[in-house]
């Protein structure tokens, strides 16, 4: 938080209590106690409990976005839909707040989902637009199939990812025991649905198919990274909006 380290402590305490107790039981008094501050100090930063807990969700999403951007900057193959989906899936399962968001855990989120749907509608719309432009950039490089519309591809990607998250709760005990094999299955599913095959082991020009994929991904990566840097900036602005002026 801009004002001081107390804001960060409050945000972390709110996240811990949200996951441990759920939206309904969490109070500003308990958040203040866990953060080691007075109740009034919490209200110096956030107007309401809802604003604070919404900031908790935004903070988790922002962290996942920064990790995604770091992966893309380090390896252009991370811009492929299969890589984005599987890496985000692992990130979300490792973050208790994001896990609750994506598995629709009403015991934790309570009415926070409804609040987020209203408060974050514009940010979500920007994210959808960025994903469509991301897929369009990959289509232009021949890395994503062109036999369906970009909007249908966006829907397919989100539906597959949502299905894997939903399965976490529905098939408890009947899925691979650790998250990595499930992430690999997700990557293979998205790859089969959206991406073009790498081609033969060696192309007519003598270059391995994998090299051509990496080269095309490297061309697309800078523009795609810029898209998500913009989303990260919008998310940070939304977090600031939740703070008391």
pLDDT of residue 209: 67
Residues whose CB falls within 8 Å of the CB of residue 218, separated by 6 or more in sequence, listed in order:
76
What's the pLDDT score for residue 3? 47
CATH 1.10.357 at 61-242, yes or no = yes
Query: Which residue numbers in the chain have pLDDT < 70?
Result: 1-4, 172, 198-209, 245
Give the per-residue pLDDT at 1: 47
What pLDDT is attached to residue 198?
A: 60
**Which pLDDT score, from 0 to 100, does residue 200 have?**
42
pLDDT reported for residue 131: 98
Using left for φ > 0, alpha for ψ between -120 and 50, and beta otherwise, residue 207 falls in beta
Bridge partners (DSSP) of residue 243 are 46
pLDDT at 4: 61
| Annotated domain spans of the chain | 1-45, 61-242
CATH classification of 1-45 is 1.10.10.60, yes or no?
yes
pLDDT at 197: 81
pLDDT of residue 202: 42
Q: How many CA atoms lie within 13 A of 91 on its CB side?
A: 19
Residues 6+ apart with CB under 8 A from 124: none
What's the pLDDT at 176?
77
What pLDDT is attached to residue 104? 79
């Amino acid at each position: 938080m801009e004002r001081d380290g107390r804001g960060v402590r409050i945000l972390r305490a709110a996240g811990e209590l949200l996951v441990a107790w759920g939206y309904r039981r969490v109070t500003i008094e308990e958040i203040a106690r866990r953060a080691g501050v007075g109740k009034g100090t919490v209200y110096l930063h956030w107007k309401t409990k809802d604003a604070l807990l919404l900031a908790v969700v935004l903070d988790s999403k922002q962290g996942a976005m920064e990790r995604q951007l770091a992966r893309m900057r380090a390896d252009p193959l991370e811009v492929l839909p299969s890589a984005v989906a599987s890496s985000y899936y692992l990130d979300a399962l490792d973050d208790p707040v994001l896990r609750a968001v994506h598995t629709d855990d009403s015991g934790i989120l309570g009415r926070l989902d409804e609040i987020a749907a209203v408060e974050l509608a514009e940010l979500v719309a920007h994210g959808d637009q960025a994903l469509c432009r991301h897929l369009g950039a990959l289509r232009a490089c021949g890395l994503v199939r062109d036999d369906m519309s970009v909007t249908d591809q966006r829907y397919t990607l989100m539906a597959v990812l949502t299905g894997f998250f939903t399965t976490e709760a529905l098939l408890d005990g009947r899925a691979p025991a650790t998250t990595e094999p499930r992430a690999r299955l997700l990557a293979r599913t998205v790859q089969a649905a959206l991406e073009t095959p790498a081609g033969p082991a060696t192309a007519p020009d003598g270059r391995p198919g994998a090299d051509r994929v990496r080269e095309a991904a490297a061309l697309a990566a800078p523009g795609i990274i810029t898209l998500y840097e913009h989303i990260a900036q919008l998310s940070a602005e939304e977090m600031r909006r939740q703070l008391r002026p």
